[in-house]
Chain A
Amino acid sequence: MSKQTILLIGPPNVGKSVIFNYLTGKNSDCANYVGTTVEYTVGDIMVGGQEYQLIDVPGTYTLEATNEAEQIAVDLLYGRGSISHSNGCHSKQQSKTEVNVAQVPKAIIVVLDAQNLERSLFLLNQIQAHQIPVIALLNRIDLLEKKGESIDVNKLMDKIKIPVIPSVAVEKEGLERVKEQLRTTVEQEPLGHDCLGGGKITEEEAWHRVEKITSEIKSKRESSVQQKETLGDKMIKPWPGIPLCLLILGLVFAFVVGVGMGLRQYILLPLFREILIPALVFIAEQIIPEGLFLQVLIGEYGLLVKGLEWPFTLVFPYVISFYIAFTIMEDSGYLPRLAVLLDGIFNKMGLPGSSIIPFLLGYGCGVPAIMASRSLSSYKERLIVTSLISLAIPCVAQSGALIFLLGERSLFVLVAVFAISLLVLVGAGMLLAKFIPGAFPSTIVEIPDLLPPKKDIIFRKVFIRMKEYIVDGAVPMMKIIAIASVVYETGVMNYISSFMRPLVTQWLQLPVEASTPLLLGVFRRELTVVPMIEMDLTLVQLFTGAVISLFYVPCIAIVATITREFNWKVALGILVVTILTAFLIGGIVARFGNMFVNVML
């Protein structure tokens, strides 16, 4: 028999995921922007000796859903959610959890935003109309107090007639009282009336009543504008917001490249090349007789050589540096400011500025990025964002490989590759906006406070993402390298490469062995780049190879995600477009590159 469920509902960016993590001991993702949770997350919780399933629901402002993620929240409340939830990146630990969401929840924890009490109370009122026992958690009271304001919690309880627990979730304050309160709430019958006093009232009257309650319980001591709020305000104005944006993005790029290179050069490379790999090769040579198996382990594409070196010394350092920078940006609340600054430009691509968040996530990994597009309001916007992520945004593993491949030979070529990526991104976006039918994007976005990121949260999130990279990135990469090693050592790769010879040598003007990365790249994006490091390529060939790898097929995981989020036709369409674009632009770059070199010489 399936366990009964308790829902955790509230507006977006109010701290639900932090509360969920505390109550269940899980590691669900959380950040300082709207739409971090785009699918529901499940964890077990013990209440009064009985085990329940706590469901962290995507944030919603009202029960009149305005996007797919909010619709999930509404469906869960009505007990009409789908039986098994998707295996996303939001919380990988619980991806296989079975949960019966087609049942009405036993109780609901409504998280009220102390800073936005009116709309939180309106949502609470809508939820209470469903006759389910409810407790309210009044979160972010610390931010309210910093603004010189306070809420009389006892008066609030008196007005809405349900228990209210004041909390500061990020500091774990007040959360210990939730389980205690839940024990009595799950045994209670629903109130039988909503928090506004019962009776049928119109929506306008409901808003009027929540405004009245808020004015009666909220008091303001004195207003004080703080430094961080002033900086937050400046960041959304064209001046100095745009120069600041360029400065911040430039610093992020320098940080990712610089720290990544440093980690590789001084820590990971010596560790793997001088200690681990020689030790493993020595052991393999001692215990395995000469032959195919030994070659698969220590040969050209040896699992114990390239299988460790590529994922851990080429890609891993940039995974670490990228996620440190990204986590600081997402936790500070800078991303929504960036979204507002770029909104006008993004509109030209048929997208709202908030698409910057899935795009930036895509520079980490395409899978969560495509899932994050659920927070966009139309199918057209989702399709454009997904297509662009698949086509022109390199994931962190691929970017790391590109930085290593090109950075040491020519910084100019490295910048040129990312510039081409950006040009194609904008061009393809404008084309798609023209040809995909659908309404023009509308922007209604709340800008959260600019907050200093917390060190412990940054460390925890970077650690989780490093673990995810090892499990979902490095291990699959090692498996593909092992297969490549077998195919290479048995001569099958030469056979397959011969079919691709005309395309590779004549159109792309690359050596015939460049067929190998094109074959491997079908499985993992970065493997389109990494084998080229071992080849003796000219600068033009490196440039050509890097450009091809940039636009070449998205990895298998992305294709599977697109199929799940849309359908197989969309996935196939994106696959064909990316392959054709890669070879078309690759051929053009090769010709122009060689022409340029000939003229210069």
Chain B
Amino acid sequence: MVWMFKKLKGEHKRDHLNQGITLEEASLGTPCVICHNVTDPLLKSFGFREGKTITIRALGVCNGPIVCEISGHCVAIDRKTAKKINIMVNGCTK
């Protein structure tokens, strides 16, 4: 029950993973920076570009989408796509 509640809040993610991780592994509410250029034109249009700050706002149930805030807007992306986006909590080294 406690685990489910933590999962709903995204607290089950381990904090140490927040260094050089994918968006799928990021913690709820922590601002991160996108570290590389994605190739999908739709994602680029939504602001998923190198150097942009992104914050996870919600995690969907049943392995549902990750809702992110980027450039002041909310975008939901599936976890498979989120796995392809590399982020860093303290900014990119590039």
- Residues of A whose CB lies within 8 Å of any CB of B are 11, 61-62, 64, 66, 115-116, 118-119, 122-123, 147, 204, 207, 211, 233, 236-239, 241-242, 339-345, 347-348, 352-353, 440-447
A340 touches B60 (CB 8 A): yes
Which B residues between 16 and 37 are near A, CB-CB below 8 angstroms? Answer: 37
9 shortest A-B CB distances, which residue pairs? A344-B64, A344-B62, A61-B45, A443-B78, A447-B74, A237-B58, A64-B41, A119-B45, A340-B76
A403 to B55, CA, bound (A): 45
B63-85: CB near A (< 8 Å → 1, else 0) gives 11101000111111110110000
On whether A66 and B41 interact (CB within 8 A), knowing A238-B59, A238-B61, A443-B76, the answer reads yes
Residue of B nearest to A117 (CB): B71
A347 contact from B47, B59, B62, B73, Cβ within 8 A: B62
Chain A residues with CB below 8 A from B37, complex form? 204
What does DSSP make chain A's interface, helix, strand, loop or mixed?
helix
Chain B residues with CB below 8 A from A236, complex form? 57-58, 67, 74, 76
Indicate if B42 sits at the interface (CB-CB under 8 A): yes
Indicate if B44 sits at the interface (CB-CB under 8 A): yes
Chain B residues with CB below 8 A from A347, complex form? 62-64, 78
A238 contact from B44, B58, B73, B81, Cβ within 8 A: B58
A115 touches B72 (CB 8 A): yes
A339 to B75, CA, bound (A): 12
A66 to B40, CA, bound (A): 10
Identify which of B41, B49, B76 gathers the most chain A CB atoms within 10 Å of its CB: B76
A210 to B61, CA, bound (A): 36
B8 contact from A239, A441, A446, Cβ within 8 A: A239
B81 touches A442 (CB 8 A): yes
A344 contact from B65, B77, B80, Cβ within 8 A: B65
A116 contact from B41, B49, B73, B76, Cβ within 8 A: B73
Chain B residues with CB below 8 A from A443, complex form? 65, 76-78, 81
Shortest distance in angstroms between B71's beta carbon and chain A's nearest beta carbon? 7
Residue of B nearest to A60 (CB): B45
Residue of A nearest to B80 (CB): A442
B78 touches A238 (CB 8 A): no
Task: Jot down 5 A-B pairs with beta carbons below 8 A, ordered by A.
Answer: A211-B49, A236-B74, A347-B64, A442-B81, A443-B78
B64 contact from A119, A123, A353, A442, Cβ within 8 A: A353
Identify which of B37, B40, B49, B64 gathers the most chain A CB atoms within 10 Å of its CB: B64
Chain B residues with CB below 8 A from A352, complex form? 78
A207 touches B44 (CB 8 A): yes
A474 to B81, CA, bound (A): 46
B39-55: CB near A (< 8 Å → 1, else 0) gives 01111111101000000
Residue of B nearest to A119 (CB): B45
Shortest distance in angstroms between A404's beta carbon and chain B's nearest beta carbon? 36
On whether A345 and B61 interact (CB within 8 A), knowing A61-B45, A444-B42, the answer reads yes
A118 touches B62 (CB 8 A): no
Chain A residues with CB below 8 A from B74, complex form? 233, 236, 446-447
A558 to B6, CA, bound (A): 46
A352 to B73, CA, bound (A): 20
B81 touches A447 (CB 8 A): no
A443 to B65, CA, bound (A): 7
Residue of A nearest to B48 (CB): A444
Residue of B nearest to A207 (CB): B49
Residue of B nearest to A220 (CB): B72
A236 to B46, CA, bound (A): 18
A486 to B44, CA, bound (A): 62
Shortest distance in angstroms between A347's beta carbon and chain B's nearest beta carbon? 7
A68 to B49, CA, bound (A): 25
